[in-house]
Structure 1
Amino acid sequence: MEKINIYVPDNVGRILENDASLFEIFKRDGRTVNKNRFLSMLITGFYGQYVKEYKQKYDAVKTEMVGVIKSAEKRDILADSILKNVILPEVPTRKGKNPKRLSLKPTKDTESLIIKIMTDLGDSDYISQYFCRLLMSYCDKPLNEREQIIFRDNYELLDEACKSNRPVAFTTIWNKSVVHEVIPYRVVVGQGEMFNYLICAETDDRSGEQVAKSYRLNRITNLNRSNRMGTISDDVKRHLDMMLHYGPQFAINDDEESCVRLTDYGEKSFSRIYYGRPCVDHVENREDGHYYYFKGSKDQIFFYFRRFGYDDAEVIAPESLRQKMISFHRDALSVYQQD
């Protein structure tokens, strides 16, 4: 099949390009966005949902016409026309204002679906306009829902595994040589309702003990589900519940409290810097600063506060986290001191 040119509004084109990068749909070099693969994943993941949503609107319009138009055939034609020309967004043309051209090259994964769509459309619509409406509908959804669409097969398999307590095995896109065998607990949305995370129990290779782990949905690949049942220990389950409360993007495997001393300016920075901000348990205001106490992940605290000015935030406890922050700033300083 020949490639299909799809003309979309400029803002839709930007959202699609940004999503492909955020969801790390790259070519083999690990840097260049694979636009065709992303569009293929979007279409196969969203087509069924889009058809269902379209039919719901179509049926709603037809229902309103029952008492006005007696002919079922006329109701069908008018409902379709109202949907395309009134309810659904306007589709840009090649000569329209600021259209963004996308090229979709059919693959073995999408060819049969594209043929089905073309057959169903007949003479009622152009394939490029149909895909434009589909892409515009996709872009209207929140980021976390768009990620679920792109990785629909994995998302649904993991969701089912969580409900049935079935272990799964997978690799990640950044290290396909290591197989992770885990017991899924929840697939949840992270901070700011941006990305989806699988929080799960996994046996640590060094200690042999079960620990809580977190994996981003988009990075899970080569996913397989087991038929046997899995059991998560009470201690790990408690930590997984803490991750649900404090943030699923970072694993929690202990109950140790962390403390960070902030200056007045540090407090202002804490209020301004939203992304990645850990949940505060309580605050103690003293003469030498504001002591913030946390019960969440130490990794989250480290990655968040290392963005602060060197004298605006000081890790007080635990000592292991304090030494990690000291090493970070020491290493950063050594880079700038090199001749």
Structure 2
Amino acid sequence: MTEKYKIYLSDDTKTRLINDAELFEFTKKDESVNLNAFLKTLIVNYFDRYRQDSESLLSSIKQDLTAITSISDKDAALLADKIVSTYIKADNFQSSKNSALTLTVSGSSYEILRIIENNMLKDTSLSQYLKDMFNSYLSIPRSEREAIIFKDTYEDITRALKEHRILSFTNTTSGDEKAYLVEPYIIAPSKEEQCNYLLCMDRSTRRPRTFRISRIRSVFVTSDSFPVNPDTQKELQEKAIRSPHSVSLTVQAVVRLNKYGVKKFKAITKNRPIVSKIEGDLYYFDWPELQLEEYFKRFGRDALVIEPASLKEKIKKFYYYGLREYNKGAIK
């Protein structure tokens, strides 16, 4: 059965939910963001945790109230509920306006909304309950939110890690889905806690690989196990700490930054490599080459790669082909 519900969200909450839906690649056929599909998944995967956390919070407040006052259990429960509603879940202090959103649900998401309507509302509306649930979800670090949205995938990978089972899945990084058979070693959040990555050994190439959890599809835990390689485990653990989104070759690099490059290095924090040492305008790195390449492409003339030659050549080609295309456009 399919049902439509009108809910009201602050513009700030709606924008942040859209950002998650976009990052986690919930899209329609025309590549626009599919917020409805994202919210259905959120409701199904987060409802139990939200309900349990809410009940636990109320119970803790009630116990504290009865422990320090002579208030009755009934009055303590009522006061605890009021405290949560007024000071914790209230969004009265948000300056953002509310806007209507039509939520279309079916299947599991419809059944959960029916459970909420029949059992959870008390003195609040369904719209307010969902708003509170969404705000609670948004209060969690994004890497944990990703684990909620891709709950089934995350649980399958976690089981494979514990049992040392070979994993089969498809991945959407390059646009087209490609099948992989891997030996999983670690799940690690990125440096900025934006996403989770599976670090593993590719069975076909026998090379380390990393996959963003939100881009993994059709996960299957096989019955085949694999022996954990201590050297591989150590290597991937080091990658997990430093740059889980990249398991490319680690190189010793030297980059010259002018005064504008130094400012950019301080300002551009996403995927910023850690400096080994600084000598004047020379910055030294012991970091994956691919990440260094992607990071310093954004600096233009304000960063000049001195070493290694392979990294220097890659960035030279990047600017060369970019300039060539711009010159073609100028001729037209």
User: Same fold by TM-score, threshold 0.5 exceeded?
Assistant: yes
The Cα offsets for residues 226-251 of structure 1, whole Å up to 9 and x where unpaired, read as 23222343443333123123211111
Pairs within 5 Å for 1:307-322: 307-310=298-301, 312-322=302-312
**1:152 equivalent in structure 2:** 151
Alpha-carbon distance between aligned partners in 2 of 1:192 and 1:326, rounded to the nearest angstrom: 28
**Worse overlay, 41-50 or 273-282:** 273-282
The Cα offsets for residues 79-100 of structure 1, whole Å up to 9 and x where unpaired, read as 43443344421479xxx97212
Q: Is the Cα contact below 8 Å between 1:261 and 1:314 reproduced in 2?
A: yes
The Cα offsets for residues 80-126 of structure 1, whole Å up to 9 and x where unpaired, read as 3443344421479xxx9721222211122312222222221365432
Quote the RMSD (CA, aligned, Å): 2.5
The Cα offsets for residues 163-221 of structure 1, whole Å up to 9 and x where unpaired, read as 33222111123555411111222211112222221111213x5xx4x222111121111
Q: Is the Cα contact below 8 Å between 1:282 and 1:292 reproduced in 2?
A: yes
Alpha-carbon distance between aligned partners in 2 of 1:86 and 1:313, rounded to the nearest angstrom: 49
Alpha-carbon distance between aligned partners in 1 of 2:250 and 2:296, rounded to the nearest angstrom: 20
**1:262 equivalent in structure 2:** 257
Alpha-carbon distance between aligned partners in 1 of 2:232 and 2:327, rounded to the nearest angstrom: 44
Q: Is the Cα contact below 8 Å between 1:263 and 1:313 reproduced in 2?
A: yes
Q: Is the Cα contact below 8 Å between 2:191 and 2:242 reproduced in 1?
A: no
Would you say 1:224 and 2:225 are equivalent positions?
no
Q: Is the Cα contact below 8 Å between 1:197 and 1:248 reproduced in 2?
A: yes
Instruction: Point out where structure 1 has 5 or more consecutive residues left out of the alignment.
Output: none
Structure 1 counterpart of 2:320, one-letter code: R
**2:85 equivalent in structure 1:** 84
CA distance 1:256–1:235, shift in 2 (3 Å): farther
CA distance 1:123–1:259, shift in 2 (3 Å): closer
**2:170 equivalent in structure 1:** 171
TM-score normalised according to structure 2 size? 0.88
Alpha-carbon distance between aligned partners in 2 of 1:267 and 1:304, rounded to the nearest angstrom: 13
CA shift, 1:127, in A, is 1.8
**2:55 equivalent in structure 1:** 55
Identity %: 30
Pairs within 5 Å for 1:186-335: 186-203=186-203, 205=204, 208=205, 210-252=206-248, 254-285=249-280, 290-310=281-301, 312-335=302-325
CA distance 1:122–1:189, shift in 2 (3 Å): closer
Q: Is the Cα contact below 8 Å between 1:185 and 1:200 reproduced in 2?
A: yes
Q: Would you tell me which structure has more helix in proportion to its own residues?
A: 2
Q: Is the Cα contact below 8 Å between 2:12 and 2:96 reproduced in 1?
A: no
Q: Secondary structure at the match of 1:169?
A: strand
Residue in structure 2 matching 1:336, options 317, 320, 326: 326
CA distance 1:242–1:86, shift in 2 (3 Å): closer
Q: Secondary structure at the match of 2:148?
A: helix
CA shift, 1:162, in A, is 2.2
Structure 1 counterpart of 2:241, one-letter code: H
Instruction: Point out where structure 2 has 5 or more consecutive residues left out of the alignment.
Output: none
